[in-house]
Amino acid sequence: MDTSTPQSSSLFTHIASRELNAFRVRKRPLMDGFVSGFNETGALAVLHNADSTIPLSLSFCKTLKFSHILALSDEDGYVNLFDTRRRFPVAATFEENAEDAKICDWVSHHNAVFDVCWIKEDTQILTASGDQTMKVWDVQEKTCLGVLTGHTGSVKSMCPHPTNADIVVSGSRDGSFRLWDLRCKSMSRTRRGDLSNNICSTTVVQRAHLSSQATRGRRGKVPSMSVTSVLCLKDQVSIATAGAGDSVLKFWDTRNLKSIVTQACPCPLSTEKQRLHGISSLSQDESGLYLSASCMDNRVYLYNILQHEKGPIRSFSGCRIESFFVKSAISPDASNIVCGSSDGNAYVWQVNKPQEDPTILKSHDGEVTAVDWCCSEVGKLATASDDFTVRTWNKNSFISQARSASSIRRRIMAMPSIDCKMLLNNKEKCPKSSAPITPPKTNISDGHKNQLSPGLDPRVSSEKTPESALKSPSSVLNPPSSVKRTIRDYFLASS
């Protein structure tokens, strides 16, 4: 039986596949960290009762088990949950994809919801709205567990405490940021006569980002003092805030909010008049060592928390940030930064190669606003746009360089290999390395010295609200003096 043709064909195919695999094996070490692009894995329409609505915020679940679930808030006040692991038919419409992937949705506010985040092991969701309130929701029952009242402007941003989800910080257009303890509830009646669990803030800082350099516009318009973004840092006592008035980041100690601990900005403060650019969003990686800030000067700045007062260590350009709805986010492993853009695209940069052109995600037909990374699937992200769609993306080719917080700290304190060899050989003394990697020196006194820069606005005020009489039970915001003091101490102690 003549089988020469199939055998030869099979043989050549086998050899070709072996050559291809060998080529990949040889090249893989040289492509460490290489990203060739992103694939769009899904596109969902955002609509309710057949009417399209604009998405405003995105948030993947934070636990490994549910990390594929994406929460979306929109302009009509809805919260939507989608399963991003669904496979969609090629011929399906965006509306069909949305129906197939939707887990549930409900009306959370009768106003736009600007921010949404998961807490309590993804069993609860926090929503921040233009109705000047925040709400806590039970995800399973879709019921409201509490209403956070106190802001006098739209709530633009919020962030839970890194180790205690009952502690939340929020920023608002009223120029203040507030601290909340979700355990401090009081029953009250709404205007309709219904009972509700009201939660009042324990502390408020007014006029947190009123710039001393800002001046009135041509028509006498007062510059914006809106707090656009807030973050609870990993040291458990520090808060980072940003505003619409300028590009200054401010860092606060929750144990003493009467003054700022320190601040940072892209360019040094000076007495010369400079054009002020606000910041639209802040984000931090999983380790908490890096912080990114998307600025209205069409750049995304990256700060090292250990040296933030020295200014950004890198900047990324190419996108257009023409509104405060355009956000950016650093990936959990700190390898990439994604940012929306007013030109209808999203841009992804490699953190270790800021000089290279970004990868451009081209699919949206309107301003790309909210973005978020999946915490468990490396290279997976979601983007939202004014074209009434949400899209998910995955990297085409990726070689993980994920580094945990502990490994980063070990690198900071690591001993050069030459010194290690000399120690193993029982040398009397190790010569100093030509360029040792050491953490920055810190001088922190017991009295916690104020590191205010001379150009800061002294008009920032802090006050205790009347409701703060309900002291937060076992609050993590007031640890004993022996506990880690600042973000620097957090990393140095962990090393």
| Dihedral sign of CA atoms 423, 429, 433, 437 in order | positive
- 132: phi then psi, degrees, rounded to nearest 5: 75, 15
- Asked if 371 and 340 count as a contact pair (C-beta separation under 8 A), the reply is yes
- Asked if 375 and 332 count as a contact pair (C-beta separation under 8 A), the reply is yes
Region 198-203: mean pLDDT is 93
Q: What is the total residue count of the chain?
A: 495
Q: CB count, 10 Å around CB of 67?
A: 18
* Strand order across the beta sheet in which 238-243 lies: 227-232, 238-243, 249-253, 262-264
Structure confidence at residue 27 (pLDDT) = 37
Task: Please tell me which of 57-61, 303-307, 457-461, 475-479 the model is most confident about, judged by mean pLDDT.
Answer: 57-61
Q: Which two tokens stand for residue 269?
A: 């403060």
Region 240-256: mean pLDDT is 93
3-state helix, strand, coil in the chain (%, to 5): 15, 35, 50
Helix (H, G, I), strand (E, B) or coil at 334: coil
The string of DSSP letters for 159-203 reads EE-SS-TTEEEEEETTS-EEEEETT-EEEEE-TTS-EEEEEE-SE
Structure confidence at residue 451 (pLDDT) = 38
211 pLDDT band, cuts 50/70/90, is low
- Asked if 421 and 407 count as a contact pair (C-beta separation under 8 A), the reply is no
pLDDT of 88 > 80? The answer is yes
Structure confidence at residue 449 (pLDDT) = 39
Q: Is 285 left (phi over 0), alpha (psi -120 to 50) or beta?
A: beta
Please tell me which residue, 322 or 408, carries the higher pLDDT value.
Answer: 322
Map tokens 């144990």 to a residue: 255
- Asked if 89 and 145 count as a contact pair (C-beta separation under 8 A), the reply is no
Structure confidence at residue 136 (pLDDT) = 97
What does pLDDT average to over the chain? 79
Bridge-partner residues for 488, per DSSP?
A: none
d(CA 253, CA 236): 9
d(CA 138, CA 134): 14
Question: What global pTM score does this model have?
Answer: 0.77
Question: What angle in degrees, to the nearest 10, is found between the helix axes of 405-413 and 487-494?
Answer: 80
Region 354-374: mean pLDDT is 95
Helix (H, G, I), strand (E, B) or coil at 396: coil
- Asked if 290 and 284 count as a contact pair (C-beta separation under 8 A), the reply is yes
| Dihedral sign of CA atoms 473, 478, 481, 486 in order | positive
- Asked if 238 and 486 count as a contact pair (C-beta separation under 8 A), the reply is yes
421 pLDDT band, cuts 50/70/90, is very low
What is the Rg, in whole angstroms, of the alpha carbon atoms belonging to the chain?
25
The string of DSSP letters for 280-323 reads EEEEE-SSSSEEEEEETTTEEEEEEGGGGGG--SEEEES----S
462 pLDDT band, cuts 50/70/90, is low
Q: Could you tell me the CA-to-CA distances from 247 to 191, 225, 270, 278, 330 in Å, in that order?
A: 40, 12, 13, 5, 18
Helix (H, G, I), strand (E, B) or coil at 238: strand
Instruction: Map out the domains of the chain with their CATH numbers.
Output: 38-212+221-398+452-486 (2.130.10.10)
d(CA 26, CA 326): 41
